[in-house]
Amino acid sequence: MLLACFLVSMDLKSDLSDLTAAARGARKDAALVGWADLAKWRGDGTARMIGYMMDGNQAARDGAPVNLFILMPEAGQFLHPAHPQPEEMVEVRTKQPVAFKFRQLVWATGRLSRTTGGDREHAAWAMTDARVQPASDGEITAWFGQ
């Protein structure tokens, strides 16, 4: 039991669910959207979000080029996967294939809109023509002041 607790503690990643964009986080090319801000998102506009890369409905191995993945605010742990909640899932479709890395913290920037899905298996949000780049934990506090 001690070993399991140790392994889980070594595998913890920040939960981004409560992030709200700081005023200083404004950008000219895209609106910074925190996970708590999603409920207020009304338009079809360019947004920039930070989250964890997840494979969603189609399994992908690390390093495989993908054009589609799910962005989520929590990564879960190796013993307890993240719960798929449609309101906290963004289906990201990239402009160019990106190397998939399960549970990697990334920035995704693209056209954000509500989907007609949002049931247990489908994301309530979609980001198209997205650009993706790795992120660091330090960027969470820099852009969101947490």
- Residues 49-72: pLDDT tens digits? 999 999 877 778 889 999 999 999
Residue 28 Cα distances to 32, 36, 46, 65, angstroms: 10, 21, 10, 29
22, pLDDT greater than 60: yes
Q: What are phi and psi of 60, to 5 degrees?
A: -135, 140
User: Which is more confident, 94 or 22?
Assistant: 94
Residue 127 near residue 71, CB atoms below 8 Å: yes
- Of the listed ranges 13-17, 112-116, 118-122, the least confidently predicted one is 118-122
CATH class of 2-144: mainly beta
User: Which is more confident, 65 or 45?
Assistant: 65
Tell me what percent of the residues of the chain surpass a pLDDT of 90: 39
Compute the mean pLDDT over every residue in the chain, rounded to the nearest whole number.
81
